Structure 1
């Protein structure tokens, strides 16, 4: 039977299988307990002894990118002003689970869920600095390690808008009439059809479930780099709209640098698009906290 949702897993890895794989291939970890940290679209995640995080791909596309992560992430650690995942353990699949997997240093922090505007504003300059540095990573180095060109055709706003209207129909039963109308009106009024292509090195999947904050609510790390690619900077700049309140965006761009109007339009569109997808999966999983945060991301992205 075909998968009914784009986020459905091609492979599942239970805690029992994860334990067998980790302890069998890395016996030095066998005294450390393992517990689930949940899953996203691409990976199931386990915490080992409070020191290491292991990501097990749920889909073939995620498995293909592990070698890229292993080559690029150590280089990024030297460049970026925020901590990022560092791969340490390179695992191989088995008869019970066919994919390679990676273990990383554990990064403390929590997802930025339910933060106030004041708390979010604390991270504006740091996020601007982070993306400014990330987007200067040499493209030739990224390509050498397998970073693909963005396959999502983000420059085509008209196609993205059409896709989002279809997703909006699926969302209708999970959002209020006012929320539905706000998103629909935004999309219908969007008349730019395409932006000029640009190429920088991207995280590629920057949203609240791939960001960590400390006890004050300030950004403390960026995780899940499996979608690294070369494409339009608006893909990552979406967080200026989905994560930051309107009053903090000037501080972000003052550090990141000047951005043209087309890029801002695309960044805002992605800032609505990604939370729509997160909302759909969270609603399917019955995760009301993520549903509420995704809705708040969309509302923030649409605010001026």
Structure 2
């Protein structure tokens, strides 16, 4: 059995968004407003040619918006790709109970859209861009960094959840092989360095690709936290074909990736891939992402390592 995107806890429509903007940001009220997308946590509207409005559709999303407003302006200064730092803050008003944000609009499509015919990704460029992004992002985080019990933690903390999801999708993927891969990843020594900043949700749907096929922006920092950088490096199995995944790995090694990180990242890719698959019964795009990620994880079976490789 698979789960669907959680229902909205507050129904948002264009008239509400227009009212919030007119009341709180009157200088922007003349700009045309167009619904763009509804995600797990937020509804997104295009405002004019250069802006987006992000409004939480449930309490969890409101917590994430607040976190982005606190941390993204600080982090954006050191990152080589554009990120959606909030330019304007919105506050609860009337029946609408949560904070909201106005940020820049990044032209292009998500890398996930490219998987369905939007164009071709320049994977050579993507490997270099994402390696540089990860290197810049993965810096020591302060003790006050947001906590997240599902990201950046030791892989063993995710075992019960991952095994449960594997049981739910056993008719879709080769579960026995994936269990072996998971056990090997868990056997790799956990991250023992300082907690590093991590994006927390670095998958193709959160990468913006321009018409030239190059990654120009990373969006949706709602899972921003600190911990094991392998969480982000899992994008290797979600985005890249085999040969470019190897290039991405080599670039990360050149930039100082520590031993064991790549092997844990493979475990994170499995955990994220099966989670996506278990929640995507009504989303063909994310269903495909989950299947492709798990197949990529399985395609590296010859690279299985265990704890003895790190002793």
Q: TM-score by structure 1 length?
A: 0.83
Alpha-carbon deviations, 1:111-166, whole Å to 9, x = none? 11317997334311111111101112x523xx5xx522342375443342331121
| Structure of greater relative contact order (alpha carbons < 8 Å, 6+ residues apart) | 2
Using the alignment, how far apart are the partners of 1:51 and 1:118 within structure 2?
23
1:278 aligns with 2:276: yes
From 107, 129, 141, the equivalent of 1:139 is: 141
Query: Could you tell me how far 1:182 is from its partner in structure 2?
Result: 5.0
Partners in 2 of 1:224 and 1:236 — Cα distance?
13
Quote the Cα distance in structure 2 between the aligned partners of 1:302 and 1:244: 14
User: Match for residue 125 of structure 2?
Assistant: 122
Deviations 1:24-45 (A, max 9, x none): 2222222222222223222221
Looking at structure 1, the residues matched to 270 and 22 of structure 2 have their Cα atoms a distance apart, in angstroms, of 41
The answer to whether the 8 Å contact 1:155/1:194 transfers is no
Match for residue 307 of structure 2? none
Match of 2:200, SS state, is coil
Q: Using a 3 Å threshold, how does the CA distance of structure 1 residues 36 and 184 change in structure 2: closer, same or farther? A: farther
The answer to whether the 8 A contact 2:43-2:56 is kept is: yes
Q: For residues 249-288 of structure 1, give each alpha carbon's deviation from its aligned partner in whole angstroms, at most 9, with x where no partner exists.
A: 34323433343443222211221222333333332xx232
Taking structure 1 as reference, are residues 118 and 66 closer, same or farther at Cα in structure 2, changes over 3 Å only? closer
User: Where in structure 2 are the equivalents of 1:77-226 lying within 5 Å?
Assistant: 77-113=76-112, 114=115, 119-136=122-139, 139-140=141-142, 143=143, 146-152=144-150, 154-172=152-170, 175=172, 178-179=173-174, 183-184=178-179, 186-187=181-182, 192=187, 195-198=190-193, 199-226=195-222
Contact 1:242 1:272 in 2 (8 A): no
**Superposition TM-score, scaled by structure 2 size:** 0.81
Deviations 1:167-222 (A, max 9, x none): 1233356x3xx555654553466561761444101111111111111123221110
Contact 2:41 2:56 in 1 (8 A): yes
Distance 2:10 2:189 in 1: 36
* Shift in alpha-carbon separation, 1:197–1:11, aligned structure 2, 3 A: farther
Q: Which residue of 2 aligns with 1:245?
A: 241
Q: How many residues matched? A: 291
Q: Which residue number corresponds to residue 303 of structure 2? A: none
Q: For 1:151 and 1:107, how far apart are their aligned partners in 2?
A: 30
Root mean square deviation of aligned Cα: 2.8
Choose the corresponding residue for 1:302, options 298, 302, 309: 298
Q: Counterpart in 2 of 1:25?
A: 24
Residues 295 and 133 (structure 1), Cα distance of their counterparts in 2 relative to 1, 3 Å cut: same
Structure 2 alignment gaps of length 5 or more: 301-311
Q: Distance in 2 between matches of 1:117 and 1:49?
A: 27
Look up the SS of the partner of 2:35 in the other structure.
strand
Unaligned runs of 5+ in 1: none
Do the aligned partners of 1:110 and 1:212 also contact (CA within 8 Å) in 2? yes
- Report the Cα distance in structure 2 between the residues aligned to 1:31 and 1:84, rounded to whole angstroms: 25
Q: Contact between 2:185 and 2:267, CA under 8 Å: does it hold in 1?
A: no
Flag the 1:250–1:302 CA change in 2: closer, same or farther, 3 A. same
